[in-house]
Amino acid sequence: MNETTIQGVKISQSVAILIDGNNIERSIHSITKNNSSMLNFDTLIPKLLDNRGLNRLVYFREGKNISSKLRERLHSNFHGSVRPCHKSADIPLSIKATQLSDKVDTIIIMSGDSDYIELVRHLVNEGVRVEIAAVENTTSQLLVDEADYFHPITEEDWFTLNPKPAKKGTRKKAPRKKKKTD
């Protein structure tokens, strides 16, 4: 467990980060107007943890087409996992949060979806510190009000992939037209 000492007080917290991938992706895409924008987990996760220990990181995403690069990166850098969901992430994320509530001090939910209001209330009543990390413009104010803390995800927390330029010589040439001979 990671420990920090502030004015003689030792702080030692374990944190679980649960990510509603579809919600965060849609939020970033709507702000950037670009579907190639992605979270920069390498800078965002340490910022969210703020010297606290990471117990779990789970990225929930609807659908089966989940990037193997994302899966590998989250696992190798944060021992995280990616969980595909049948429909939305709401129910699987809520179940995982409830399962972890007696194993961690803080749960950070990365989503601005108001569907999590009841989950946040439940976790807070169980004595768990609940923090929300989301894009402010697309986050339910009711969700923010129920949480213990809000981390705004800003443009410094994402990047946009540039399309790969075509390689020279890979473009097909149009067939030459035959000259008409009279």
pLDDT per residue as tens digits for the range 84-140? 888 889 999 999 999 999 999 999 999 999 999 999 999 999 999 999 999 999 999
Contact 131, 148 (CB under 8 A): yes
**Could you tell me if 129 and 105 are in contact, meaning their C-beta atoms sit under 8 angstroms apart?**
yes
Backbone angles phi, psi at 73, to 5 degrees: -65, -45
How far, in Å, CA of 180 to CA of 174, rounded?
A: 18
Class of domain 18-160: alpha beta
For the question of whether the overall pTM of this predicted structure is more than 0.85, the answer is no
Structure-derived torsion over alpha carbons of residues 55, 60, 64, 65, reported in degrees to the nearest 10 = -90
**Banded model confidence at residue 161, pLDDT cuts 50, 70, 90:** confident
Structural domain boundaries of the chain?
18-160
Would you put residue 61 in left (φ > 0), alpha (ψ -120 to 50) or beta?
A: beta
Check: CB of residue 114 under 8 Å from CB of residue 142: yes
Regarding predicted confidence, which is higher, 110 or 77? 110
